[in-house]
Amino acid sequence: MALGMGDPRKLGIVSETRKLHDPLVRSALTAERVRSDLAVLARGGLDVATFLTEVDESLRRAVPYAGACYALVDPSTRLLTKTYKFGDLAGRDDHDMEWAHIEYGDTEPTCFTELAALASSAAGVHESTAGDVVASRRMRDYMIPYFDYGDELRAVARSGDHVWGGLALFRGGGEAAFDPGEIDFVASLSNTLATGIRAGILARIGAVAVVDPSPGPVVVIMDAAGEITHLSPGADERIEALVSGGGAAAPIAVLGALVARARAWACGLAPAPPRIRVRSTAGEWQVLHAAPLAGRDGHHGDVVITIEAARPPEIVPLVVAAFDLTSREQDVTQLVLGGADTKQIAARLHLSTYTVQDHLKAIFDKADVRSRRELVAKVFFDCHVPNMGDEIAPSGWFTPA
């Protein structure tokens, strides 16, 4: 039978067609497509730079913005380790030190460290300040004068108790502020972003070129104005090696974050001196830590930053955390890495051997391995295999070949 004008089937088709022309329906459909696309990307085994580039291209279809900055953080300290900028922020790092001092020297509800501690994973400055965006020092003294932005939407990339990074989206002063629906949508992507970042870290495991370990720590001293005043030999090269390809910004923001947090610690506003783990372009893990200096003449304000090759015990917890294991699975993994067998693990953790076997199966699935031997190899590959055969130095690292 042909479909006539009064046929209910045709009326249904017309109704669905009209829905697709409804802006709200189109927006919701776009958001769902973007959410689905990002979920696939997050599990695609992409390196971090490629993953975030794809995220930026997809996300702006659902939430338009002028500029974006994606950040990686050390999950144990939640301090900045790398940034990737897109849109009209691409290539703009001329004021990164000033941003770092504001971000890590002050405390306001939408700074990343505060947002990471909240149940909600995203916030908009316009929404949080009831439209009074200049109440935020970051907007008043930085975003508005330097970039003419009128609003910022921030989100953290969270997986369980670990925060792996975050993003900041910006709109110009003449554009509409981010609305609650957009903020909620970006918040819903928190775990997906964390999954992609974790996968990006693991994607490099086992794919690292053989490198000689750094000959020793280097030192950088920065003054109260955020300028580098002293460098030990080799420090310039080590700083440059912290920059990776794929759009990562210069490391000045990372150094600035360490300086700001070191000063906050000196004032009793931070629980410990700052310390982060960062991977160099050659694939070598570095540990950066900072501490404030005080001269005998009473001069204050200088900060010393030490950069040195990370020892395996400092990197193993980060790699294990990237597998997204439960706390009990992490306990089992640590004992496996220590050489304990099933009975020893059961006795140590007061579990049955059957429960230990169940945990091991879950660990193998998450780490994409089939045995304890493969698990140990995957976790330690970065730290040991590239230099296997070299002598061990007192530091616990391999001596230069």
Q: Is residue 10 part of a domain?
A: no
Examine the pLDDT at 287 and tell me if it is beyond 80: yes
Tell me what pLDDT residue 337 has. 86
| Structural domain includes residue 17 | no
**With 60 as the cut, is the pLDDT of residue 8 above it?**
no
Q: Please tell me the predicted confidence (pLDDT) of residue 80.
A: 92
Average pLDDT over residues 296-306: 82
Query: How many other CB atoms are there within 10 angstroms of residue 246's CB atom?
Result: 12
Given a cut of 70, whether residue 214 has pLDDT beyond it is no
Considering the domain architecture, whether residues 319 and 306 belong to the same structural domain is answered as: no
The reported pLDDT for the residue numbered 21 is: 47
Q: Given 262, 292, 310, which residue is the final one in a domain?
A: 310
In a domain, 213, yes or no: no
Q: How far is CA 287 from CA 73, 225, 290, in A?
A: 13, 24, 10
The per-residue pLDDT for 24 is 58
Strand 149-159 with 67-73, pairing: unpaired
> pTM for this one?
0.80
The whole domain housing 290 covers: 218-310
Domain count, the chain: 3
Does residue 134 fall inside a structural domain?
Answer: yes
96 and 180 housed in the same domain: yes
Give the confidence band of 400 by pLDDT, cuts at 50, 70, 90.
very low
The residue ranking higher by pLDDT, 67 or 252, is 67
pLDDT at 372 over 50: yes
- Specify the CATH number for the domain of residue 194: 3.30.450.40
Average pLDDT, the chain: 84
Mean pLDDT for the stretch of residues 223-237: 88
Q: Would 25 be classed as within a structural domain?
A: no
| Same domain? 128 vs 83 | yes
Residue at 359 is within a domain: yes
Closest CA to 190 of 162, 213, 211: 162
- What phi, psi does 84 have (nearest 5°)? -130, 125
For 163-194, what is each residue's pLDDT tens digit? 999 999 999 988 999 999 999 999 999 999 99
Question: Does any domain span residue 32?
Answer: no
| Residues 43 and 174 occupy one common structural domain | yes
Helical axes 327-337 vs 312-322, angle rounded to 10° = 140
For residues 100 and 138, membership in a common domain is answered with yes
46 and 162 in a common domain:
yes
On whether both 143 and 169 belong to a single domain, the answer is yes
**Residue 339 · residue 372 · CB < 8 Å:** no
